[in-house]
A and B are shown apart, each in its own frame.
Chain A
Amino acid sequence: MEVFGTEATRFMNSWLLYTAKRYAAWQKTLCLGLALFLAAPILAREVIAIHSTATQVRSADATLNQASPNANSGGAASLIVESNNGSSNQRAVVQFDLSVLPNVAIKQALLIMHATASTTNGFPRTYGAYGLTSFFREPDVTWNTRVANLGWNAAGGDIGGTATATATVVGAIGTSTPVQFDITSDVQNWYNGTPNYGTLIRDQAENSNRDPKTTFGSRNGTAADAPEVDITFVQNVTNLAAVPGNGTVTVSWGYPALIGRVNFGESYNGVLILRRANLPVDKSSVPTDTQDPAMCSVVGTGTVVFDNTSLATSFTDDSSDPCGAPTNDTTWFYKVFLRDQKNYYATQPIVQGSVFTEEISATPSATAANLQSSIWIAATFSTTLAAPSLFPGSIVMAGSQTNLSFGIDAVTGLRKYPPVSLGGPVTGRSPVIDAADSSLAANVMYVADNDGLVYAIATDTGQILWAVNPTSLTTNGFTGAPSVQLKSFSDSTFTLTHDLLVAGTRNGASTTANRIVGIDGNTGATLWQTIGNAGGVAKMDIISSSPAIDFVNHAVWVTSRSAAGTAQPSLWKLNPNTGAVLTTAALGDTDTDPTLSIPGDVLFVANNAGTIFAINPTTAAPLKSVAGGDGAIISFPIVLGLTSPYTVIFSGQTAVHAMKYDKTANTFTNLWSTAINTPSAPIGFTGGAKVYVGSADGKIHELDAVTGVDGKQRTANTGQPGIVGDPALDFVLSRIYISTNDQRAYGFAFPF
């Protein structure tokens, strides 16, 4: 027994020891696994790998070759990074088409270049990935040039001093080898209002005697070797809406369809909602990832009023709200953060104070007539006060002064695609042309920027079809938008092959040598230039307006300043085929757009002194003028009526005014004036009962077209100064769109 017992004990001991060892090993493995799990970055919900391809309309790549500084390699099957002391360095630029991710917060972005060959001779080389800071185009880009005839500020690509990320390459490489750069911060910036000009890859120690060189796949080569970016992200909610009641606001939303692969255990499971009175929740007020702020806690300028993890699709904010009910007749702003199971939110680090998280507003009231809500709110990242452009019922296009152009879904307010990155600020109302009417046979928008570039952009995709610098000078910027003479609308007197763009320059340094340019709508080619004080053309001051295309009188009308006097012309009538000056008029400084009556029998021009002119469109001679009496006119007058007498409505400095112009009697008659705080340009339509105007009180005012009575308003943002820009009307959806100086665009239903 003793033996048995001893043996048994020994057996048991050894078994226990074995078991304990196994347990310890298992425990160690478990702990190691747990440690690795905890140590690894826990990433939010969805991941997608985007590979550049030759067919993607918004991707680009090329090699910049210092030895051939003017050679473009945009179509090459490979990209080269080389360090060579014979002024023969090579750098690669890559730009990804992120169209599949229009409304997301970036949590991680890894750029993966696939090296296919390397001659680093066994010495490791460190390559840096830099965010490019200037606009370039793949068909144009070289070591010296970035777009059209414009050079880089620094030859070899405009970049900062520090790489966003670095990676090491060791030769010799025989097979496709991934080289990875963490460019999360750059991609986050692209979604936070910084233009996406792509990434430049260079050797961190250029001018090497050993001539190390690595070849990477390009989007035009083998698909598996094409540049790739792996992005981890959280989407925004969809269909965000707010319905006000008496002391209540019901906010509703949807959950987005998945775009990428789902991370384990990170399903979207609800939303966190911040609320603020009178003003949108500040852009930097966002919850911290992985944390769950308490109900009614304050996050920046917002208060947590809804904290849901059970996939709720609506929230009624009322007297049961422990944080306080929304008081009547106050506009409440709600910012809705989609979240996942680990509390990753639709947010990202704030750069330039910008975010894109979905917002909505509503004003509860005991009086039914005072109930109001926005249809959507969209970020524009900078002040823009031009009327948004639109395809009614489909898309709203808004420019920005951060060099971006936004394509916003007119129904939901979500982006159709990531903003289009341009070379300069956009301040005009860019014309959009339907495919059926355009000589390009595409839905297109023509944009002119403050830095002198003009673009054709496909509004369906955000693809830049062409970009040109028509005057070859960046000092010849454009602040007004171009206008388009459509070939399909023109009669036989219009002899050009395609649609014609006309735009006027704003070179503030010159009061005499500004110019009007005619550009081919299909190719971007400069067809003609009418240059002030040259070739027999009179002196031409700055042009801040958009031209009027006169299909009836076969002309283009342009207004300009006139060096603060009347010695120079300020109204120009041009031949659209040649740019030849047909006639001019000296009306004094004029920054507003000229407006034609619908039949084209009278042209109305409002100058900076506040005088309204009725112009004979045949001779450009003033028929009649009248002092508006309210300072400089804003943006443009609108002209209602199919025949004379016409109703001319315009905004001065303190009020909106309506006058009747009778062509037969050649008389102006005052109809009404309605005081509005620093009004925008008005918008209305022939036969419509209302006129809409933005104000510096943060509201859109709905005026009676006949009496001018300021009947109803809609609140965009009553923050100070809360300036609302020129409105645009969408007759398909019965909506009015405006941009503001709070870096947002808004949609409201009309009539109010």
Chain B
Amino acid sequence: MQREKTRLARRFRSTALLGCVAVCLAIGFSACQTGMTSGNGGNPPPVTGATVSFCDIADGACTPATSFNVASLRDLVINVNWENLSGGNHTQMLEVLQPDGGLYQASQSSFLVSDARSSLTMTRNLPVAGAWISQRRITGEWSVRVSIDGKAITTQTVQLNP
């Protein structure tokens, strides 16, 4: 009796398992199909991305660079160029990390993107001349970590030399 129950249970489990596999495959296939046909005219939705660049505030042309001399740098201009942002409100979190990885400064900025907007640049100036970076010579490879609406997007390094 017990053995029969066990056998029935096994058969039921096998059937259920097969059923699940079939359902999962169907869902998966359906999902694949959905994925292939969704979006605008079959194109996948654009992925929100950001590029971070740096320049010296004293450089009127703001020529991007990845290495600076602390002795001559007044403000480090941090430009975050956003692309493919969806319309609506967004919040950017910008974290400036020291060479040891510790948080030096963090700032939030919210902004409104119109539906048609495809790119947008947010700028933050980090004081260097006369600030702790130059006074206490906190030099080395710094990082800027950028997130949007709580989702990490990119991290860019910048070299601050003595």
Q: CB within 8 Å of B: which residues of A?
A: 130, 133-134, 152-155, 158-162, 193-195, 352-354, 381-383, 385, 401-403, 424-425, 427, 450, 477, 479, 506, 508-509, 542, 544-545, 561, 591, 632, 634-635, 653, 678, 680, 696, 719-721, 723, 725, 741-743
Contact = CB atoms under 8 A, between A and B. Distances in A.
* Max chain A C-beta neighbours (<10 A), residue from B99, B108, B130, B131: B130
Nearest to B130: A544
Contact of A160 (B86, B95, B105, B150): B150
B130 A561 contact: yes
B127 A506 contact: yes
Nearest to B103: A382
B131 A544 contact: yes
Interface string B48-62: 000000000110000
* Max chain A C-beta neighbours (<10 A), residue from B91, B98, B125, B131: B91
Given A158-B110, A354-B103, A544-B130, 11 more contacts: A153-B110, A154-B111, A158-B109, A450-B127, A508-B125, A509-B75, A561-B130, A635-B135, A723-B136, A741-B102, A741-B138
B47 to A, nearest CB: 15
Given A154-B89, A160-B110, A352 B95 contact: yes
Nearest first, the 7 closest Cβ-Cβ pairs linking A and B are A544-B130, A508-B75, A158-B110, A160-B91, A591-B130, A154-B112, A401-B105
A383 B137 contact: no
B106 A402 contact: yes
A161 B86 contact: yes
* Max chain B C-beta neighbours (<10 A), residue from A133, A425, A450, A509: A133
Nearest to A403: B107
Interface in B74-103: 74-75, 86, 88-91, 95, 98-100, 102-103
A544 B107 CA distance: 20
A721 B91 contact: no
B130 A506 contact: yes
Contacts of B57: 508-509
Contacts of B89: 130, 154, 159-161
A159 B102 contact: no
A424 B127 CA distance: 13
B100 A719 contact: yes
Nearest to B140: A721
B131 A427 contact: yes
A383 B129 contact: no
23 contacts: A130-B89, A133-B110, A154-B112, A159-B91, A161-B89, A161-B149, A382-B104, A383-B98, A383-B102, A383-B104, A427-B127, A477-B127, A479-B127, A508-B57, A544-B129, A544-B130, A632-B135, A678-B137, A696-B136, A721-B100, A741-B100, A742-B102, A743-B102
A720 B139 CA distance: 12
Given A154-B89, A506-B127, A542-B129, A634 B103 contact: no
Interface in B112-162: 112, 125, 127, 129-132, 134-138, 149-150
Contacts of A506: 127, 130
Contact of A427 (B100, B109, B112, B132): B132
B137 A653 contact: yes
A353 B103 contact: yes
A187 to B, nearest CB: 15
A680 B111 CA distance: 39
A678 B125 contact: no
Contacts of B108: 133-134, 194-195
Given A508-B74, A509-B57, A741-B98, A425 B107 contact: yes
A153 B109 contact: yes
Contacts of B131: 427, 479, 544
A383 B104 CA distance: 5
Contacts of B103: 352-354, 381-383, 401-402, 743
A513 B54 CA distance: 24
A153 B92 CA distance: 12
B110 A591 contact: no
Contacts of B100: 719-721, 741
A130 to B, nearest CB: 8
Contacts of A725: 132
A680 B137 CA distance: 11
A130 B108 CA distance: 14
A503 B149 CA distance: 35
A76 B111 CA distance: 28
Contacts of B75: 508-509
Contacts of A477: 127
B135 to A, nearest CB: 5
A190 to B, nearest CB: 12
* Max chain B C-beta neighbours (<10 A), residue from A162, A383, A450, A634: A383
A721 B138 contact: yes
A155 B112 CA distance: 9
Contacts of B104: 382-383, 401, 741
A401 B89 CA distance: 25
A479 B90 contact: no
Contact of A159 (B98, B105, B110): B110
Contacts of B86: 161
Given A133-B91, A401-B104, A634 B149 contact: no
A196 to B, nearest CB: 12
B15 to A, nearest CB: 29
A381 B90 CA distance: 24
A591 B134 CA distance: 10
